Amino acid sequence: MATVLAAPNVAGYSFDQAPNLADAQERRKLSESAIKVFVNIAQKWELNEAQARGLLGGVASSTFHAWKTKPKGKQLDQDTLTRISLVIGIYKALNIYFGKPWADRWITLENRGPLFAGRAPIDYMLRHGQPGMAEIRRLLDAWRGGR
């Protein structure tokens, strides 16, 4: 018997297709929430400012602080929203796979896995950028039995 998964019902958001991040209006709609979520995750992971800015693609310190203190009305570019989406996916996968408190610690702990060679996953993501973030997302999704 096949099971049909229903899309979540969230006012103002359609989940039948991915957002079009090339559309400025769509990016404007998503940016404030994306910034808030990213800042919360960075705090839970206990990232320093340089690490948080690095995950966002190396934004300037002044830009990062402006986003943090006044996210309303900001419009992120496609690359930054994609990076935040990857961070959210990694965060979700860690919480499904490990649970608390390991989910928040894993990203900064040294890892003996072949991908990390004794370094922390955050170092791998900072060194390899968006492709490295996507690779870690795929790895965690595979661990938790996702697609």
pLDDT digits (tens, 9 = 90+) for 48-89: 999 999 999 999 999 999 999 999 989 999 999 999 999 999
Give the residue carrying structure tokens 């830009």: 63
Q: Are 110 and 118 in contact (CB under 8 A)?
A: yes
- Would you say residue 133 has pLDDT above 80? yes
Average pLDDT, the chain: 88
Q: Where are the domains of the chain?
A: 24-143
pLDDT digits (tens, 9 = 90+) for 90-102: 999 999 999 888 9
